[in-house]
Amino acid sequence: MQPEWSPRISWADLPGHVQAGIEQILGAPVVGATGQQGGFSPGTADRVVTATGRRAFVKAVGVHQNEHSPAIHRKEAAIAAALPDGIPAPSLLGTFDDGTWVALVLTDVEGRHPHTPWEPPEVSLVLDALQELSRTPVPRGLEHLPRLEHELAEAFQGWARIRAVPPEHCDPWILGNLDILERLAESGLEDLAGESLVHTDIRADNVLITAGNGAILVDWPWACIGSSWIDALAVLINVRVFSPTFDVDSLLRSHAVFASASAAGVDRVLSGLAAYFTDAARQPPPPGLPTVRAFQRAQGEAVVRWLRERLSDPEAGSSARDSM
């Protein structure tokens, strides 16, 4: 499936004083802007070039697009400012914030998003980058970041809400296995714990592949401290969204980024994420983000399908299958 991204405003839609503030950061007027596809924010995502030839990436949003989005941009600005050299992420050049509009000006990465459906070499490339990230100590300026197991505690309780009020047209397999799924998800919070810097929102549109076969991770507002392999698991989920038959389990068994992950732990986390996506997908869309629920639904279906395969496969999943 190809996701439908939220409609974005463009550089031309920004108020004049916001454009002027961004140009002050860049040191020259912007003479060209190219909008970028991807993501669910209603704000701008533009590669810009100035009259002096300087290039940058600009993302800006106001409260009129979505009342919560400016605060998310502020979070990302604080995180981006604290990311050290060596982290595969763009550098923050400056921030404009007038209380209503927030704009981030970042280095422009010469790259493209991974192909979707994902191609095996690019999956491995991103997993390699995430392995390096997992080895990087949490920067001193980011030690305050929330713990992932705390951030997802409510989300992992989604099966209880589904039990109370099942979604319309809910997968019968889910309804028939709620006891197992709920038990797995509840235990899965422990598997989220760790001491690694975690992006938490890795998917194809948040990755750029460079000409030198590097992988750069963009959009960092949800960064946490947690498990060293959870971002890599998110990559495999995204792979399954676009290609349901891709053999992601072979990567779980072979790639070094998953060295500390157990089969049972993967099942537990997958159940928690399936609970989150399935429960969230039936909620009304947030203002300005009309397509996010459809993508959450696709993610939920992909995770449930994968987990169901693992719980039926004696070579893959945990002992929970013995209770089915």
Q: Quick one: how far is CA 310 from the chain centroid?
A: 23
* 219-269 pLDDT per residue, tens: 999 999 999 999 999 999 999 999 999 999 999 999 999 999 999 999 999
The pTM score is 0.94
Q: Does residue 196 carry a pLDDT above 60? A: yes
Distance CA 75, CA 62 (A): 14
Q: Does residue 319 carry a pLDDT above 60? A: no
- 224 and 196 in contact (C-beta within 8 Å)? no
* The architecture CATH gives domain 112-323: Alpha-Beta Complex (3.90)
* Per-residue pLDDT, 316: 65
What mean pLDDT value characterizes the chain? 94
- The pLDDT confidence band at residue 318, using thresholds 50, 70 and 90, is low
Residue 219, token pair as written in the block: 């959009």
Distance CA 140, CA 7 (A): 37
* Per-residue pLDDT, 324: 40
Mean pLDDT calculated for residue range 15-34: 98
Pairing of strands 111-112, 207-210: antiparallel
Mean pLDDT calculated for residue range 184-191: 98
Domain ranges within the chain, ordered by starting residue:
11-108, 112-323
Phi, psi of 297 (to 5 degrees): -65, -45
Residue 114, token pair as written in the block: 């991974």
Q: Does residue 172 carry a pLDDT above 80? A: yes
- 235 and 133 in contact (C-beta within 8 Å)? no
Q: Does residue 313 carry a pLDDT above 90? A: no
Q: Does residue 320 carry a pLDDT above 60? A: no
Quick one: 11-108 is in which CATH superfamily? Phosphorylase Kinase; domain 1 (3.30.200.20)
- The pLDDT confidence band at residue 5, using thresholds 50, 70 and 90, is low
* 205-231 pLDDT per residue, tens: 999 999 999 999 999 999 999 999 999
